[in-house]
Amino acid sequence: MTSTTEGDLDTLRAEAHAAIRDLRSRKASLDDDSIDLILRGARNHYAWTERPVSRELLETIYEIAAAGPTSMNTCPARFVFVTSQDGKDRLEKALKPANVAKMRSAPVTAIVAYDLEFWTHLPFLFPHEDRRPFFEGKAAHIEETAFRNSTLQGAYFIIAARAAGLDIGGMSGFSNQDVDEEFFSGTTLKSNFLINLGYADETALFQKLPRFAFDEACKFV
């Protein structure tokens, strides 16, 4: 494991502080249209145009999403991009019938998965000290941490995709067991949820469904 001296940490902290201050001075908040694009006015889509999605764009989206925080910087999420006919055939086996056409028509379907051996990479991801003993031999803690943080990373990926100009359609109507057997057999990966990606045919949308008001979902204590 690469050691980091206290002097190195002081320098890195100072650089991080300066970077945040500089960013805030350039952009204190997003404008309303930007917020609408990524969340408030965004929709979960079900139909897609034939416009392709490039590898370069997916790499950009991953780079943005990977910057999001996870506990101890564990970064357990792994992404499998299903684009080929063979891949779609394999994925279809796990889907509920209502979701097959949504997946088939999307240029890309991302399987958001998590690696149960994420903690073995902590010397690289969290070089300040060796945090592997927090997880070694603790299967339930590993599973809980991997699932929670990969869910966070999947959400970051959705927001990043929208920010980069793509539409998304998140899906949970499938068998995780079937996906794991088909795509992750013999590995330490497990599936979490699916994200269809592309340029949507918005004519398939219906009205935006209600949300709870602040006072219905929030409280102070």
Which pLDDT tens digit goes with each residue over 7-30?
A: 788 898 999 999 999 999 999 999
Q: Shortest CA distance to 175 belongs to which of 65, 71, 96, 69?
A: 96
The whole model's pTM is what?
0.93
DSSP code per residue over 62-105: HHHHHTS--GGG---EEEEEE-SHHHHHHHHTTB-HHHHHHHHH
- Which two structure tokens, joined as six digits, stand for 34? 């930007």
Q: What is the pLDDT of residues 85-113, one digit of tens each?
A: 999 999 999 999 999 999 999 999 999 99
Q: What is the CATH number of domain 31-204?
A: 3.40.109.10
What 3-state DSSP class applies to 167? strand
Q: What is the pLDDT of residues 33-85, one digit of tens each?
A: 999 999 999 999 999 999 999 999 999 999 999 999 999 999 999 999 999 99
Q: Shortest CA distance to 192 belongs to which of 131, 147, 152?
A: 147
Residue 3 has pLDDT above 60, yes or no: no
84 burial via Cβ count (<10 Å: 0-12, 13-18, 19+):
exposed
- Domain layout of the chain by residue ranges: 31-204
